[in-house]
Protein backbone atom coordinates (compact mmCIF):
# COMPACT_ATOMS: atom_id res chain seq x y z
CA UNK A 1 0.00 0.00 0.00
CA UNK A 2 1.29 3.47 -0.89
CA UNK A 3 2.44 5.58 2.08
CA UNK A 4 0.37 8.65 3.02
CA UNK A 5 3.13 10.96 1.81
CA UNK A 6 6.03 10.27 -0.48
CA UNK A 7 8.26 12.95 -1.99
CA UNK A 8 10.90 12.01 -4.53
CA UNK A 9 13.60 14.45 -5.70
CA UNK A 10 11.23 17.44 -5.49
CA UNK A 11 12.80 20.46 -7.18
CA UNK A 12 11.70 24.02 -7.71
CA UNK A 13 14.01 26.98 -8.25
CA UNK A 14 13.18 30.63 -7.55
CA UNK A 15 16.64 31.71 -8.67
CA UNK A 16 19.57 32.91 -6.52
CA UNK A 17 19.91 29.50 -4.89
CA UNK A 18 16.44 29.62 -3.35
CA UNK A 19 13.74 26.96 -3.61
CA UNK A 20 13.75 23.18 -3.32
CA UNK A 21 16.83 21.32 -4.51
CA UNK A 22 15.81 17.68 -4.64
CA UNK A 23 13.86 16.81 -1.50
CA UNK A 24 12.86 13.22 -0.83
CA UNK A 25 11.03 11.97 2.24
CA UNK A 26 8.33 9.52 3.27
CA UNK A 27 5.81 9.76 6.09
CA UNK A 28 4.16 6.47 7.17
CA UNK A 29 0.76 5.99 8.78
CA UNK A 30 0.84 6.66 12.52
CA UNK A 31 4.13 8.53 12.23
CA UNK A 32 4.98 12.13 13.11
CA UNK A 33 7.65 13.61 10.84
CA UNK A 34 9.26 16.80 12.17
CA UNK A 35 10.41 19.15 9.44
CA UNK A 36 12.97 21.62 10.77
CA UNK A 37 14.86 24.37 9.04
CA UNK A 38 15.98 27.96 9.42
CA UNK A 39 13.90 30.75 7.90
CA UNK A 40 13.95 30.64 4.11
CA UNK A 41 15.05 27.00 4.01
CA UNK A 42 12.00 26.02 1.90
CA UNK A 43 9.51 24.70 4.46
CA UNK A 44 6.58 26.75 3.12
CA UNK A 45 7.43 25.72 -0.45
CA UNK A 46 7.50 22.09 0.61
CA UNK A 47 4.10 22.39 2.29
CA UNK A 48 2.74 24.02 -0.88
CA UNK A 49 4.19 21.18 -2.95
CA UNK A 50 2.40 18.65 -0.72
CA UNK A 51 -0.94 20.46 -1.13
CA UNK A 52 -0.51 20.54 -4.92
CA UNK A 53 -0.02 24.30 -5.10
CA UNK A 54 3.58 24.45 -6.27
CA UNK A 55 4.66 24.04 -9.87
CA UNK A 56 7.59 21.65 -9.71
CA UNK A 57 10.66 21.80 -11.90
CA UNK A 58 11.11 18.11 -11.26
CA UNK A 59 10.39 15.19 -8.94
CA UNK A 60 7.11 13.83 -7.68
CA UNK A 61 4.76 14.27 -4.75
CA UNK A 62 2.36 11.46 -3.96
CA UNK A 63 -0.49 11.46 -1.43
CA UNK A 64 -1.48 7.83 -0.88
CA UNK A 65 0.07 7.16 -4.28
CA UNK A 66 -1.86 9.93 -6.05
CA UNK A 67 -0.87 13.30 -7.49
CA UNK A 68 -2.02 16.11 -5.14
CA UNK A 69 -3.06 18.13 -8.18
CA UNK A 70 -5.90 15.61 -8.41
CA UNK A 71 -8.68 17.00 -6.15
CA UNK A 72 -9.77 13.48 -5.15
CA UNK A 73 -6.37 12.80 -3.57
CA UNK A 74 -6.76 15.89 -1.35
CA UNK A 75 -9.84 14.41 0.34
CA UNK A 76 -7.42 12.45 2.55
CA UNK A 77 -5.25 15.51 3.26
CA UNK A 78 -5.72 17.86 6.19
CA UNK A 79 -3.90 21.20 6.41
CA UNK A 80 -3.36 23.36 9.49
CA UNK A 81 -1.74 26.58 8.25
CA UNK A 82 0.48 28.75 10.40
CA UNK A 83 -2.09 31.57 10.28
CA UNK A 84 -5.36 31.25 12.18
CA UNK A 85 -7.10 30.34 8.93
CA UNK A 86 -10.63 30.79 10.22
CA UNK A 87 -13.45 33.26 9.65
CA UNK A 88 -13.24 35.52 12.68
CA UNK A 89 -16.77 36.81 12.23
CA UNK A 90 -18.26 33.30 12.31
CA UNK A 91 -18.77 31.21 15.43
CA UNK A 92 -16.61 28.20 16.27
CA UNK A 93 -19.46 25.90 15.27
CA UNK A 94 -20.05 27.75 11.97
CA UNK A 95 -16.36 27.68 11.13
CA UNK A 96 -16.03 23.97 11.80
CA UNK A 97 -19.19 23.20 9.83
CA UNK A 98 -17.90 25.22 6.86
CA UNK A 99 -14.46 23.62 7.00
CA UNK A 100 -15.96 20.15 7.20
CA UNK A 101 -18.10 20.82 4.15
CA UNK A 102 -15.14 22.28 2.26
CA UNK A 103 -13.19 19.13 3.10
CA UNK A 104 -15.85 17.12 1.30
CA UNK A 105 -18.13 15.98 4.15
CA UNK A 106 -21.91 15.89 3.77
CA UNK A 107 -23.87 18.34 5.93
CA UNK A 108 -24.87 15.60 8.38
CA UNK A 109 -21.34 14.22 8.55
CA UNK A 110 -19.93 17.70 9.07
CA UNK A 111 -22.34 18.33 11.99
CA UNK A 112 -21.41 15.02 13.60
CA UNK A 113 -17.71 15.68 13.07
CA UNK A 114 -17.86 19.17 14.53
CA UNK A 115 -19.65 17.90 17.64
CA UNK A 116 -16.88 15.35 18.14
CA UNK A 117 -14.24 17.98 17.42
CA UNK A 118 -15.69 20.43 19.94
CA UNK A 119 -15.41 17.76 22.63
CA UNK A 120 -11.95 16.79 21.44
CA UNK A 121 -10.55 20.32 21.66
CA UNK A 122 -12.54 20.96 24.85
CA UNK A 123 -14.39 23.97 23.48
CA UNK A 124 -17.98 22.70 23.49
CA UNK A 125 -18.91 25.51 25.88
CA UNK A 126 -17.58 28.12 23.41
CA UNK A 127 -19.16 26.56 20.33
CA UNK A 128 -21.34 29.58 19.61
CA UNK A 129 -18.70 32.21 20.38
CA UNK A 130 -17.21 34.14 17.50
CA UNK A 131 -13.70 32.92 16.74
CA UNK A 132 -12.44 36.49 17.00
CA UNK A 133 -13.40 36.53 20.69
CA UNK A 134 -11.38 33.41 21.65
CA UNK A 135 -7.93 33.46 23.26
CA UNK A 136 -4.88 32.70 21.11
CA UNK A 137 -4.61 29.17 22.47
CA UNK A 138 -8.30 28.47 21.86
CA UNK A 139 -8.03 29.78 18.30
CA UNK A 140 -5.06 27.46 17.72
CA UNK A 141 -7.12 24.49 18.90
CA UNK A 142 -9.99 25.42 16.57
CA UNK A 143 -7.44 25.88 13.77
CA UNK A 144 -6.22 22.34 14.41
CA UNK A 145 -9.71 20.88 14.62
CA UNK A 146 -10.68 22.57 11.33
CA UNK A 147 -7.97 20.59 9.56
CA UNK A 148 -8.97 17.23 11.02
CA UNK A 149 -12.79 17.16 10.76
CA UNK A 150 -12.74 14.79 7.81
CA UNK A 151 -10.31 12.49 9.63
CA UNK A 152 -7.54 12.85 7.06
CA UNK A 153 -5.01 10.10 6.64
CA UNK A 154 -2.29 12.75 6.30
CA UNK A 155 -2.19 15.94 8.37
CA UNK A 156 0.23 18.73 7.48
CA UNK A 157 0.83 21.33 10.18
CA UNK A 158 2.81 24.52 9.75
CA UNK A 159 3.94 25.95 13.11
CA UNK A 160 0.81 24.86 14.97
CA UNK A 161 1.83 26.33 18.34
CA UNK A 162 3.47 29.59 17.37
CA UNK A 163 2.55 32.37 19.78
CA UNK A 164 0.72 30.25 22.38
CA UNK A 165 1.53 29.88 26.08
CA UNK A 166 3.01 26.62 27.50
CA UNK A 167 -0.30 25.11 28.75
CA UNK A 168 -1.97 25.71 25.37
CA UNK A 169 1.11 24.25 23.65
CA UNK A 170 0.88 21.12 25.78
CA UNK A 171 -2.82 20.85 24.88
CA UNK A 172 -1.97 20.89 21.18
CA UNK A 173 0.73 18.26 21.72
CA UNK A 174 -1.77 15.99 23.44
CA UNK A 175 -4.15 16.33 20.49
CA UNK A 176 -1.40 15.52 18.00
CA UNK A 177 -0.38 12.40 19.90
CA UNK A 178 -4.03 11.29 19.91
CA UNK A 179 -4.18 11.71 16.14
CA UNK A 180 -0.98 9.71 15.79
CA UNK A 181 -2.45 6.96 17.95
CA UNK A 182 -5.41 6.80 15.55
CA UNK A 183 -3.01 6.11 12.68
CA UNK A 184 -2.83 9.59 11.17
CA UNK A 185 0.40 10.39 9.35
CA UNK A 186 1.58 13.85 10.46
CA UNK A 187 4.07 16.21 8.86
CA UNK A 188 4.96 18.86 11.43
CA UNK A 189 6.87 21.88 10.08
CA UNK A 190 8.22 23.77 13.05
CA UNK A 191 10.92 26.00 14.47
CA UNK A 192 10.27 24.55 17.92
CA UNK A 193 13.15 22.10 18.44
CA UNK A 194 11.80 20.87 21.77
CA UNK A 195 8.43 20.21 20.16
CA UNK A 196 10.03 18.21 17.36
CA UNK A 197 12.20 16.25 19.83
CA UNK A 198 9.17 15.47 21.99
CA UNK A 199 6.73 14.48 19.26
CA UNK A 200 8.56 13.42 16.11
CA UNK A 201 9.40 9.84 15.21
CA UNK A 202 11.62 11.06 12.40
CA UNK A 203 13.14 14.45 11.79
CA UNK A 204 14.37 16.13 8.64
CA UNK A 205 16.48 19.30 8.67
CA UNK A 206 15.84 21.38 5.57
CA UNK A 207 18.61 23.81 4.67
CA UNK A 208 18.83 25.73 1.40
CA UNK A 209 16.13 23.62 -0.17
CA UNK A 210 17.55 20.19 0.59
CA UNK A 211 17.33 17.74 3.47
CA UNK A 212 20.75 18.10 5.05
CA UNK A 213 20.02 15.51 7.73
CA UNK A 214 17.24 13.00 8.26
CA UNK A 215 16.47 10.17 10.67
CA UNK A 216 15.29 9.41 14.19
CA UNK A 217 16.55 11.76 16.87
CA UNK A 218 18.92 9.14 18.47
CA UNK A 219 20.32 8.22 15.05
CA UNK A 220 20.93 11.88 14.20
CA UNK A 221 22.64 12.49 17.54
CA UNK A 222 24.85 9.45 16.98
CA UNK A 223 25.65 10.68 13.46
CA UNK A 224 26.54 14.25 14.43
CA UNK A 225 28.03 13.79 17.93
CA UNK A 226 30.91 11.39 18.63
CA UNK A 227 30.36 9.01 21.54
CA UNK A 228 30.88 10.76 24.88
CA UNK A 229 30.85 14.27 23.38
CA UNK A 230 28.73 16.99 24.94
CA UNK A 231 26.76 19.73 23.17
CA UNK A 232 28.63 22.93 23.96
CA UNK A 233 27.56 26.51 23.23
CA UNK A 234 29.88 29.44 23.92
CA UNK A 235 28.87 33.07 23.54
CA UNK A 236 31.79 35.47 23.25
CA UNK A 237 31.81 39.18 24.00
CA UNK A 238 33.24 39.91 20.54
CA UNK A 239 34.55 38.11 17.48
CA UNK A 240 37.67 36.24 18.62
CA UNK A 241 41.23 37.12 17.53
CA UNK A 242 43.00 34.47 15.38
CA UNK A 243 44.72 32.64 18.28
CA UNK A 244 41.37 32.21 20.07
CA UNK A 245 39.73 31.04 16.82
CA UNK A 246 42.37 28.32 16.59
CA UNK A 247 41.54 27.22 20.14
CA UNK A 248 37.79 27.12 19.37
CA UNK A 249 38.22 25.25 16.09
CA UNK A 250 40.62 22.86 17.80
CA UNK A 251 37.88 22.10 20.34
CA UNK A 252 35.56 21.11 17.48
CA UNK A 253 33.27 24.17 17.64
CA UNK A 254 31.86 26.06 14.65
CA UNK A 255 30.81 29.73 14.63
CA UNK A 256 27.64 31.51 13.58
CA UNK A 257 28.13 34.08 10.78
CA UNK A 258 28.96 36.81 13.35
CA UNK A 259 31.56 34.48 14.97
CA UNK A 260 30.07 35.30 18.40
CA UNK A 261 28.18 32.04 19.07
CA UNK A 262 30.29 28.88 18.82
CA UNK A 263 28.62 25.48 19.06
CA UNK A 264 29.48 21.82 18.54
CA UNK A 265 30.41 18.50 20.09
CA UNK A 266 32.93 18.87 22.89
CA UNK A 267 34.91 15.78 23.64
CA UNK A 268 36.40 17.20 26.83
CA UNK A 269 33.15 16.82 28.73
CA UNK A 270 32.17 18.87 31.80
CA UNK A 271 35.57 18.36 33.36
CA UNK A 272 37.37 19.80 30.35
CA UNK A 273 35.32 23.02 30.18
CA UNK A 274 37.29 25.13 32.74
CA UNK A 275 40.50 24.44 30.85
CA UNK A 276 38.95 25.54 27.56
CA UNK A 277 37.59 28.75 29.10
CA UNK A 278 41.00 29.55 30.59
CA UNK A 279 42.71 28.98 27.21
CA UNK A 280 40.25 31.32 25.52
CA UNK A 281 40.74 34.03 28.14
CA UNK A 282 44.48 33.74 27.64
CA UNK A 283 44.04 34.00 23.85
CA UNK A 284 42.09 37.26 24.20
CA UNK A 285 38.50 35.92 23.86
CA UNK A 286 36.73 35.95 27.24
CA UNK A 287 33.49 33.94 27.25
CA UNK A 288 30.26 35.74 28.21
CA UNK A 289 28.10 32.63 28.45
CA UNK A 290 28.83 28.89 28.37
CA UNK A 291 26.28 26.05 28.22
CA UNK A 292 27.01 22.37 28.13
CA UNK A 293 24.27 19.79 27.55
CA UNK A 294 23.75 16.17 26.69
CA UNK A 295 23.62 16.01 22.88
CA UNK A 296 20.11 16.27 21.44
CA UNK A 297 18.11 17.58 18.50
CA UNK A 298 19.03 21.17 19.31
CA UNK A 299 22.73 20.40 18.94
CA UNK A 300 22.13 18.45 15.73
CA UNK A 301 20.09 21.31 14.26
CA UNK A 302 22.76 23.92 15.00
CA UNK A 303 25.49 21.68 13.65
CA UNK A 304 23.59 20.85 10.46
CA UNK A 305 22.17 24.30 9.86
CA UNK A 306 25.42 25.98 10.91
CA UNK A 307 27.59 23.94 8.58
CA UNK A 308 25.21 24.42 5.70
CA UNK A 309 24.73 28.13 6.31
CA UNK A 310 28.42 28.83 6.77
CA UNK A 311 29.77 26.29 4.37
Binding site for other proteins (CB under 8 A): 48, 51-55, 71-72, 74-75, 77-79, 81-87, 99, 102-104, 146-147
Please report the DSSP string for 133-173 in residue order. Answer: GS-HHHHHHHHHHHTTTT--SEEEEESTTTT--HHHHHHHH
Q: 204, 7 in Cβ contact below 8 A? A: no
**Distance in Å, CB of 237 to other proteins, minimum:** 34
- Phi, psi (rounded to 5 degrees) for 174: -60, -45
Cβ distance to other proteins smaller for residue 72 or 246 = 72
**Distance in Å, CB of 124 to other proteins, minimum:** 23
**Distance in Å, CB of 102 to other proteins, minimum:** 4
CA-closest candidate to residue 228, choices 292, 310, 152, 133 = 292
The Cα 267–Cα 280 span in angstroms is 17
Give the bridge partners for 205, in sequence order. Answer: 36, 213
**Distance in Å, CB of 66 to other proteins, minimum:** 12
**Distance in Å, CB of 63 to other proteins, minimum:** 11
**Distance in Å, CB of 96 to other proteins, minimum:** 12
**Helix/strand/coil for 47:** helix
Cβ distance to other proteins smaller for residue 102 or 107 = 102
Q: How far is CA 134 from CA 141, 161, 173, 226, in A?
A: 10, 15, 19, 48
Cβ distance to other proteins smaller for residue 71 or 242 = 71
**Distance in Å, CB of 44 to other proteins, minimum:** 10
Cβ distance to other proteins smaller for residue 49 or 244 = 49
CA-closest candidate to residue 200, choices 283, 214, 69, 228 = 214
Cβ distance to other proteins smaller for residue 77 or 273 = 77
- Phi, psi (rounded to 5 degrees) for 43: -65, -45
The Cα 298–Cα 62 span in angstroms is 30
CA-closest candidate to residue 193, choices 304, 48, 37 = 37
Cβ distance to other proteins smaller for residue 111 or 259 = 111
Exposure string over 178-195, b if 16+ CB within 10 A, otherwise e: ebbeeebbbbbbbebbeb
Q: 25, 211 in Cβ contact below 8 A? A: yes
The Cα 265–Cα 254 span in angstroms is 9
Cβ distance to other proteins smaller for residue 71 or 311 = 71
Cβ distance to other proteins smaller for residue 54 or 304 = 54
**Distance in Å, CB of 91 to other proteins, minimum:** 16
Element (H, E) at 301: helix 297-310
**Distance in Å, CB of 127 to other proteins, minimum:** 20
Cβ distance to other proteins smaller for residue 100 or 240 = 100
Amino acid sequence: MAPPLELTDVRRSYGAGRGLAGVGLTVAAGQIYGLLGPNGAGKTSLVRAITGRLRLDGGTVRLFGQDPADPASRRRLGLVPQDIALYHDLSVRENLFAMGRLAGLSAAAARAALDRALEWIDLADRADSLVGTLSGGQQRRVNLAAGTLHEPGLLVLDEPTVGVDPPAREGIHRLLLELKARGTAILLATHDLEQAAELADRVGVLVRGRLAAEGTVPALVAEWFPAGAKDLSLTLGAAPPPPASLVLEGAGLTPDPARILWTGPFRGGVDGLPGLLASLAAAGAPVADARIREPGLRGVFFRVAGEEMVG
